[in-house]
């Protein structure tokens, strides 16, 4: 059976559904086994807390995709303020590509930003395809002030999280307001 939330279709006209096979909640099972990362898109938030709890348990038990240093640990969004490293451990955005797979704090000036509606991109260089970018996905927009693309533009910031390679460039996915701080 397929269960509908608030929104019926996404912008690509795909059906948005929670999936059940008899009594098995397939979405929850995939997340609990570590086979899927939690991502929600407004206004579909019915099982958000439950799914985030399952994701946290899967991460702590290193199940599925959490067995590898490829995905942003879900815990980082709840304890990020405690994890911001001391001043001497902060790296420049220009060095981010040397730290793939590591959780670091990256510092720099946001010189370009863009909100596609699906994600907000905070770029540290005008040639954004080649250099470090911080990304906020639409599923997390509700955790941030309105218009993050304008809030952070031309500000010196520190971004904390797992540095991943995406299309040849380093990025951090920001899932919580506590992962980014304006310092100037």
CATH number at residue 165: 2.40.50.140
- Distance CA(106)–CA(149), nearest Å, equals 18
On whether both 92 and 171 belong to a single domain, the answer is yes
The dihedral region occupied by 61, where left means phi > 0, alpha psi between -120 and 50, and beta the remainder, is: alpha
- Distance CA(144)–CA(105), nearest Å, equals 19
On whether both 38 and 85 belong to a single domain, the answer is no
Residue 80, pLDDT > 50, answer no
Domain boundary among 11, 44, 67: 67
For 90, which DSSP code? -
On whether both 61 and 139 belong to a single domain, the answer is no
Buried b (16+ CB within 10 A) or exposed e, 104-118: bbbbbebbbbebeee
Work out the percent of the chain whose per-residue pLDDT is above 70: 89
On whether both 120 and 176 belong to a single domain, the answer is yes
Domain boundary among 35, 67, 99: 67
pLDDT, tens digit, for every residue of 24-64?
Answer: 999 999 988 988 888 777 788 888 888 888 888 888 777 88
On whether both 27 and 118 belong to a single domain, the answer is no
The count of domains in the chain is 2
Domain boundary among 11, 41, 67: 67
On whether both 84 and 48 belong to a single domain, the answer is no
Residue 15, pLDDT > 90, answer no
On whether both 86 and 48 belong to a single domain, the answer is no
Enclosing domain of residue 169: 76-182
On whether both 99 and 175 belong to a single domain, the answer is yes
**Could you tell me the CA-to-CA distances from 115 to 89, 118, 121, 165 in Å, in that order?**
30, 7, 6, 20
On whether both 134 and 88 belong to a single domain, the answer is yes
Is residue 120 within 8 Å of residue 152, measured between CB atoms?
no
Residue 122: its H or E element: strand 119-123
- The CATH number given to whatever domain includes residue 27 is 2.40.50.90
Q: Is the dihedral of CA 183, 122, 109, 124 positive or negative?
A: positive
Confidence of residue 74 (pLDDT cuts 50, 70, 90): low
Report the mean per-residue pLDDT for the chain: 85
Q: What pLDDT is recorded for position 88? A: 54
Burial of 46 (0-12, 13-18, 19+ CB in 10 A): middle
pTM of the predicted protein model: 0.62
């Amino acid at each position: 059976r397929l269960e509908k939330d608030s929104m019926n279709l996404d912008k690509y006209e795909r059906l948005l559904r929670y999936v059940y096979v008899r009594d098995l909640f397939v979405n929850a099972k995939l997340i609990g086994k570590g086979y899927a990362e939690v991502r929600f898109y407004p206004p579909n938030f019915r099982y958000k807390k439950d799914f985030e709890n399952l994701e946290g348990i899967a991460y702590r038990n290193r199940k599925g995709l959490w067995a590898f240093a490829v995905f942003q640990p879900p815990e980082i969004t709840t304890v990020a303020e405690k994890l911001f490293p001391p001043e001497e451990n902060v790296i420049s955005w220009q060095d981010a590509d040397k730290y793939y797979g590591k959780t670091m704090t990256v510092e720099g000036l946001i010189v370009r930003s863009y909100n596609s509606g699906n994600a907000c991109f905070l770029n540290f260089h005008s040639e954004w395809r080649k250099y470090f970018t911080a990304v906020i996905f639409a599923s997390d927009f509700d955790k941030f002030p309105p218009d993050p693309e304008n809030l952070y533009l031309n500000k010196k910031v520190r971004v904390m999280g797992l540095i991943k390679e995406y299309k040849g460039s380093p990025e951090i996915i920001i899932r919580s307001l506590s992962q980014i701080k304006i310092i100037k």
